[in-house]
Structure 1
Amino acid sequence: MITLQVNGQSHSVDVSPETPLLWALRDVLGMTGTKFGCGIAQCGACTVHLDGQAVRSCQLSVGAVGNRPITTIEGVGATDAGAKVQKAWLDLEVIQCGYCQSGQIMSAAALLAHTPNPSDDDIDAAMAGNICRCGTYVRIRAAIKKAAAA
């Protein structure tokens, strides 16, 4: 059994230490907001926070997590930055198909938690690797700026 600290709660999971965090979250804990996209940490759909940093959960083993706190899309709204980002996403109707958006929101919330007033370059760097097949990048940038101004 491995204990994970997810969204402020301890969860015991009966998985191998090599199991990707994504599968422990989705299949064992039932937290399906974090999405599987590519499986090689290139698309960003599986982004969660580990110690407040945006990480790709598809390539991060549960054994590598240790006792560090994990925040998923289900819990990010409890943070100041996460709540602002979620509100801006809704206000600006960022979502089209929605599949990538949990990862987009997680990356944006991590950015704003560490850089409250990001420049365009900061936004580009933080969101690099978060792919949106629907092309909502203009609305994503606008929502990040709106959340930063909130």
Structure 2
Amino acid sequence: MRYFKFFIITCLLGMLFSCGGDDDICESGEGTPRMKVAFRSAESGKDRTLDSLYVAVDYGSGKVQLGGVAKADSKLIPLRVDDSPYTDVYFRLTNKGAEAKVRVKYTTKSTYVSPGCGMKKAYENLTSELITPNPVQNLEAGQNQIENEDKTNLYLLF
């Protein structure tokens, strides 16, 4: 009986101390950051809020619709995380309207974050090219690297 109590206490203490910390949960913004896109007026160059915006992204296996947003002043867009040097992003003002195609080119750098988060991609040397110009009229470059989601990387002129 004495050995049985010792065994139970040892098991309970083992379970208590074997619980891992919260470092295996990737929830504090440690993952791969998204590209921030904002909007400006083509005539005045001032920041603009769009009534509606629909975004799609080609991640290598066809377009994926990211959905629509009403009253958008900016949009966070995830880029490709494979070894592709570019991501094609499509913008529309209406659900079935004309679609502008923007190609975002970059170089990537991977860094290890934690066992739960794994690897994090950092995007550097961002350049953008307007392939299909309707409804987007032109592009303006913002910050040319993506380290976090605070600064705007690309301005779309409507």
- The structure where strand makes up a greater share of residues is 2
- The structure where helix makes up a greater share of residues is 1
TM-score grouping bracket, smaller chain normalisation = under 0.3
Higher alpha-carbon Rg: 2
- How high is the TM-score relative to the length of structure 1? 0.24
